[in-house]
Chains A and B, each alone.
Chain A
Amino acid sequence: MAVDYKALKDGGFMRQTQKNHFSLRLKAIGGNFTAEQLSTIAEISKTFGCGQVHLTSRQGIEIPFIKLDDVDKVKAELEAGGVYTGVCGPRVRTVTACQGAEICPSGCIDTYPLALEISDRYFGRELPHKFKFGVTGCMNNCLKAEENDLGIKGGYTIEWIKEACTLCGVCAKACREGAIAQTESEILLDETKCSNCGRCVKSCPFDAWRGEPGYILSFGGTFGNLIAKGEPVLPILRDKDALFRAADAALAFFDKYAKPGERFRVTIERAGWEAFRQTLETEMEAAYNG
């Protein structure tokens, strides 16, 4: 029987230079693996591979030098150890994430549970071309949100609480955007300069800034053959429902307007950024009312 390389590739088995060998891509979410999963992976690598793994640029793990004859066995043994194969081809790929608010003091949003939700909802979904999601917890952008077809960045919508403020002077210095000015009696915020970074909230010793977590989305990032950074199209979104409505609308737009084999970026540019923005807003509105 002829080998179905495409099916193998869709299931994460990447053909190697060496005949009949595959580099096996594993399913990863937000770059987190448990110690048990790592033990399973190590065992498989020693038994069926070359005793080595490769860490990919998108927080994944590949086990190279898996032989064609062992593919089914390897898959079964991995699954028994709670490890699943990844995907390749024209579909939603590994969802990446930084450590976020759970672990990182700078984080404005809890990135890992969000990456899990996104992965549950979209991972493997077929589209005109590959599609990457990435979640970064704050403006420091360790996860580089704008490299992704759809990037998500945590931010705070802020509000000054006059009664709690001692005019200590810390927030005005912590702000890198020059959005905060301090007078003898109050703090003045220039919202047009505010980047939602949340540094004022994090630095205030007296909890005199309230920070409401939100999501800043970027669309159309790609860092392969074509290099372009994702662009913000919507204002900061305050809740997760809105985030998923926007993501649903973006994927529907891609499905509807893309020529086969075209990256999301190219589709948006052909349709026009303004048309894309309007579609998003209309679809989000419809989903909200529906």
Chain B
Amino acid sequence: MADFQIDAEADITDVVCPVTFVKAKVALEELEDGQIISIRINDGEPVQNVPRSLKEEGHQILKLSANGDETYNLIVRKVGE
């Protein structure tokens, strides 16, 4: 799969649900429409819920990849202001 041009990065592994979602949302708010962010998230509850919540907010999830240390990078394209 093609790599994405990453415009920004965020790490939400230092917080727990539901703050994970809030932190990811704040990070997305800083972006322009169409920009791509890589968000580092923890295994377990965050990885089960954050991608889905961001999708429900209307953003486009591009990829989720395992880092091999029980964290994942979620690549998201911001949709809308």
Nearest A residue (CB) for B55: A205
- Check B66–A199 contact: CB distance below 8 A: no
Across chains A and B, the number of contacting residue pairs, with CB separation under 8 Å, is 38
User: Residue A187 at the B interface, CB < 8 A?
Assistant: no
Task: Verify A173–B47 contact, CB threshold 8 A.
Answer: yes
Beta-carbon nearest neighbor of A105 in chain B: B56
Q: Report the contact-size class of chain A (Cβ under 8 Å from the partner).
A: 10 to 19
| Chain A residue contacts of B47, Cβ below 8 A | 173
Q: Which of A193-241 contact B (CB under 8 A)?
A: 199, 202-203, 205
> B21 — which chain A residues lie within 8 A by C-beta?
none
B61 touches A205 (CB 8 A): yes
Nearest Cβ in chain A — how far from B79, in angstroms? 11
A173 touches B51 (CB 8 A): yes
Partner of A170, one of B1, B56, B61: B61
- For residue A174, CB closer than 8 A to chain B, the reply is yes
Q: For the complex, give the distance between the alpha carbons of A174 and B52 in Å.
A: 8
B61 touches A199 (CB 8 A): no
Q: Which of A166-190 contact B (CB under 8 A)?
A: 166-170, 173-174, 176
Interface assignment of B5: CB less than 8 Å from any CB of chain A: no
What's the nearest-Cβ distance from chain A to residue B49, in Å? 8
Q: Smallest distance from the beta carbon of A158 to chain B beta carbons, Å?
A: 15
Give the contacts of A152-173 with B (CB-CB under 8 A): 166-170, 173
Quote the shortest CB–CB distance from B80 to chain A (angstroms). Answer: 15
CB distance from A96 to the nearest CB of B (A): 26
Alpha-carbon distance A203/B47, docked complex (angstroms): 11
Contacts of A167 in B (CB 8 A): 1
A168-B63 in contact given A173-B47, A173-B72 (Cβ < 8 Å): yes
Min CB–CB distance B46 → chain A (angstroms):
10
> In the complex, what distance in Å separates the CA atom of A176 from the CA atom of B43?
12
User: Are A174 and B51 neighbours in the complex by a CB distance under 8 Å?
Assistant: yes
Q: Which residue of chain B has the shortest Cβ distance to A200 in the bound complex?
A: B52
Contacts of B64 in A (CB 8 A): 168-170, 173
A64 and B48 CA atoms in complex are apart in Å by: 45
Q: Could you tell me the distance in whole angstroms from the C-beta of A198 to the nearest C-beta in chain B? A: 11
> B52: nearest residue on chain A (CB-CB)?
A203
The reply on B6 being an interface residue by CB < 8 A is no
Most chain B CB inside 10 Å of its own CB: which residue of A105, A167, A205: A205
Q: Quick one: closest A residue to B66, CB to CB?
A: A169
Given contacts A205-B51, A205-B60, A205-B62, 14 further A-B contacts (CB under 8 A): A167-B1, A168-B64, A169-B63, A169-B72, A170-B51, A170-B61, A170-B64, A173-B48, A173-B51, A174-B48, A174-B51, A199-B48, A199-B52, A203-B52
A residues with a Cβ closer than 8 A to B are: 105, 166-170, 173-174, 176, 199, 202-203, 205
**Which positions in B face A, CB cutoff 8 Å?**
1, 47-48, 51-52, 55-56, 60-66, 72
Q: List 12 A-B contacts (CB under 8 A).
A: A105-B56, A168-B62, A168-B64, A173-B64, A174-B48, A174-B52, A176-B48, A199-B48, A199-B52, A202-B56, A205-B55, A205-B62
Q: Which 10 A-B pairs have the closest CB atoms?
A: A205-B61, A169-B64, A203-B52, A173-B47, A170-B51, A170-B64, A168-B63, A105-B56, A174-B48, A205-B55
